[in-house]
Amino acid sequence: MSVIYITTPIYYPNAPPHIGHAYTTVFADVIARYNRLMKRKVFFMTGNDEHGLKIQRVAEKEGVSPKDFVDKMAGVYRQYWQALNISYDYFIRTTDSYHEKVVSESFKRLYEKGLIYKAKYAGWYCVDCERYYSPGEYIEVEGKPYCPIHNKPLEWLEEETYYFKLSEFKDYIVKLLSETKIVHPESYAREVLSRVQAEGLKDVSVARPRERVSWGIPVPFDPNYTIYVWFDALLNYVSGIGYLTDESRFNEYWPNVVHVIGKDILWFHTVVWFSLLKALDIPPPKRVIVHSFLINRGLKIGKSAGNVIPIEFLVERYNGSDGARYVLMKLFNLDKDVEVTVELMDSIYNSELADTYGNLVRRVGVLALKKVRGKVYRRDVDKKIEESITSLLNKYVEDMEAMEVSKALSEAQELGKILNTYVNEVKPWERPDPSKELYSLLEGIRALSIMLSPVTPRASSIISENFGFPLTSPAEFRVGQIERYNIVDAPVLFKKVQAGREKAGGQENPPGS
Ligand code: ME8
């Protein structure tokens, strides 16, 4: 049986997740659900990155201990993922004791191998990124170094620290980036490659003095230091599947790992991560899927930019998790940043979910109930419909295998449109016995519901129950497979959003914008 291990970044729980985090997590969930539909063995992991200065400072501000703070936030994240119907198999937390042991042991091994050493460090630091920026990497605002991601002043830090010998891995990294297809799309691999070739690789600091950053895993042989949060965080991908604790589990999942990340953390997930793995004698990940940013009012959506769109806004406006998921996945883009507006999301939801899919299902269901009391027996399927189903389902599978979710949704949309046109052409309501037309339409709706099921699992399962068909794997789908449809209800799946309602309330844009 083929296996896939899919991960999201583990998020900093300094604030609740917003639609940027949902963007990644829903995408990973769709890939997980699609692979389960294809009957593959899936392990889907998300979680929280709970150590480091950023968390320490928020907890201080709130007047609670960092542990109490991250415990509370883990609950908050889980609630959001539940509201979005995220089917993770495991939620990892970097304060879990087994994870801390793996990090501590890995640090010790690298020290013993001579790949970690102690020396002095000075540089410009961004607390929000939890990293140093060298000249050329930061931007300057009124002559002062600023973080290019957060647009905030950097802090000057000088300290004795432990370094990881990243510089030793340059040839290895160049080889991986230029000779493999690990990083997808390839343009991101080229981007990192040209930076590595232009600047080379400098050793990186992997510890912090305890007096400054107390909230971290202690360096095992030096209690005055804590381990750098990125060293700690990246190792979640291996600790979560049994690295150093369950060898057979680790060996089953690791060769099949697919990391999904935003492009902001590309460097860490290629250069730093591949080198750390190599240093620990672990092969590189199979895939790193990188996506671009969701933008609001010209800036990357994020807490520090003050342009956050809350997840609850989408869930409430688009009829629950299915609508929110669909809208995000239709916008999903690996290469290009996407500007989010309520108008754009409304029009995707109204035209694709409410009209094309929801309305089709409702019309056909009501007709079947009226004309043949909901019982539709197998007939020859209209040739054009049969061909459309087969070819669009094939394209859909190709797209999903290539993780082109938004493209796969366009294939589904195309099928929906063909089915809607067919209803209007054949006018089943004018026929004494429209069983042939209804059967053709129901086969189309079945295919469409299967195609949409990784993105809109609730709606697909409601239709599968009310119309009496199983959500089979696309690989096992055959037109004409169903002997009899038994329609018991034709529910309204997606109520239309009243465009302009926001404006009527005096609010043209979502909260936070
Ligand atoms: O970086 N558009 O956590 P983080 C698209 N803890 N994606 C976005 C986004 C936006 N506007 N905003 C956030 C960290 N994301 C580390 C990761 S992993 C070992 C450690 C998504 O909470 C995107 O996936 O800052 C991005 O990479 C991630 O959230 C950053 O989450």
Q: What is the DSSP string of 424-438?
A: HHH-GGGSS--HHHH
- Residues constituting the chain: 513
Three-class DSSP category at 494? coil
Above 50 in pLDDT, residue 507? no
Read off the tokens for 98: 């087994």
Read off the pLDDT band of 381 (50, 70, 90).
very high
Q: How far apart are CA 132 and CA 39, in angstroms?
A: 44
Q: How far apart are the first and last CA of the chain?
A: 47
Task: Select from 22, 226, 18 the least CA-distant residue to 130.
Answer: 226
Task: Select from 318, 378, 384 the least CA-distant residue to 351.
Answer: 318
Above 50 in pLDDT, residue 66? yes
Pocket probe for ligand 1: among 8, 24, 297, the residue whose CB has the most ligand atoms within 8 Å is 24
Question: What order of strands is seen across the sheet that includes strand 222-227?
Answer: 207-209, 222-227, 218-219
Nearest CA to ligand 1 atom 9: 20
Q: Which atom of ligand 1 is found nearest the CA of 265?
A: 27
Query: Is 99 among the residues known to form the active site?
Result: no
pTM of the full predicted structure? 0.94
Read off the pLDDT band of 504 (50, 70, 90).
very low
Distance 47 CA to ligand 1 centre (A): 12
Above 60 in pLDDT, residue 501? no
Q: Give the HSE-up count for residue 407: Cα atoms under 13 Å, Cβ half-sphere.
A: 13
Distance 230 CA to ligand 1 centre (A): 13
Q: Which of 51, 99, 129, 436 is catalytic?
A: 129
Nearest CA to ligand 1 atom 16: 11
Q: Which atom of ligand 1 is found nearest the CA of 236?
A: 19
User: Across-strand partners of 310?
Assistant: 18
Q: How far apart are CA 35 and CA 30, in angstroms?
A: 8
Query: Is 21 among the residues known to form the active site?
Result: yes
- pLDDT tens digits, 305-316: 899 999 999 999
pLDDT value, residue 508: 45
Read off the tokens for 488: 């018991």
Query: Is 126 among the residues known to form the active site?
Result: yes
Nearest CA to ligand 1 atom 8: 20
Q: Give the HSE-up count for residue 167: Cα atoms under 13 Å, Cβ half-sphere.
A: 11
pLDDT value, residue 296: 95
Residues lining ligand 1, Cβ inside 6 A = 9-12, 20-21, 23-24, 49, 233-234, 236, 261-262, 264-265, 293-294, 300-302
Q: What is the largest CA-CA distance in the chain?
A: 87
Q: What is the mean pLDDT of residues 51-58?
A: 95
Q: How far apart are CA 66 and CA 56, in angstroms?
A: 6
Question: Angle at Cα 328 formed by Cα 322 and Cα 329, nearest 5°?
Answer: 85
Alpha-carbon distance values, 345 to 27, 293, 331, 510 (Å)? 17, 16, 8, 11
Q: What is the mean pLDDT of residues 340-368?
A: 97
Question: What order of strands is seen across the sheet that includes strand 116-126?
Answer: 131-133, 116-126, 155-164, 204-205
Q: Which of 108, 150, 184, 417 is catalytic?
A: 150
Q: What is the mean pLDDT of residues 161-181?
A: 97
Q: What is the mean pLDDT of residues 15-37?
A: 98
Distance 288 CA to ligand 1 centre (A): 14
Above 90 in pLDDT, residue 304? no
pLDDT value, residue 15: 96
| Single-letter code of the amino acid located at 296 | N
Question: What domains appear along the chain, each with residue ranges and CATH number?
Answer: 3-291 (3.40.50.620), 354-486 (1.10.730.10)
Query: Is 147 among the residues known to form the active site?
Result: yes
Q: What is the mean pLDDT of residues 299-308?
A: 91
Q: Which atom of ligand 1 is found nearest the CA of 301?
A: 11
pLDDT value, residue 48: 98
Nearest CA to ligand 1 atom 21: 21
Distance 317 CA to ligand 1 centre (A): 24
Q: What is the mean pLDDT of residues 158-175?
A: 95
Question: Angle at Cα 207 formed by Cα 203 and Cα 213, nearest 5°?
Answer: 140
pLDDT value, residue 500: 60
Question: Angle at Cα 280 formed by Cα 274 and Cα 282, nearest 5°?
Answer: 65
Pocket probe for ligand 1: among 23, 27, 80, the residue whose CB has the most ligand atoms within 8 Å is 23
Above 80 in pLDDT, residue 506? no
Pocket probe for ligand 1: among 27, 264, 303, the residue whose CB has the most ligand atoms within 8 Å is 264
H helices of 208-359, in order, are: 229-234, 236-239, 247-253, 266-267, 273-279, 311-317, 321-331, 342-348
- pLDDT tens digits, 102-154: 999 999 999 999 999 999 888 999 988 878 898 888 999 999 999 998 889 99
Nearest CA to ligand 1 atom 19: 234
Nearest CA to ligand 1 atom 5: 293
Classify residue 114 by burial, with Cβ atoms within 10 Å: 0-12, 13-18, 19+: exposed
* Nearby residues of 308 by Cβ (< 8 Å), 6 or more positions away: 18, 19, 296, 301, 302, 512
- pLDDT tens digits, 175-198: 999 999 999 999 999 999 999 999
Q: Which atom of ligand 1 is found nearest the CA of 296?
A: 11
Nearest CA to ligand 1 atom 23: 262
C-beta of residue 129 within 8 angstroms of C-beta of residue 149: yes
Which of 82-86, 449-453, 499-503 is predicted with the least confidence, judged by mean pLDDT? Answer: 499-503
Query: Is 18 among the residues known to form the active site?
Result: yes
Distance 262 CA to ligand 1 centre (A): 6
Query: Is 150 among the residues known to form the active site?
Result: yes
Distance 187 CA to ligand 1 centre (A): 19
- How would you write 323-366 as a 3-class SS string? HHHHHHHHHCCCCCCEECCHHHHHHHHHHHHHHHHHHHHHHHHH
Q: Which residues of 81-101 are buried (b: 16+ CB within 10 A; e: fewer)?
A: bebbbbebeebbbbbbeebbe
Read off the tokens for 352: 């694709």
Percentage of the chain modeled with pLDDT above 90: 92
- pLDDT tens digits, 317-328: 999 999 999 999
Distance 251 CA to ligand 1 centre (A): 28
Read off the tokens for 412: 């589904």
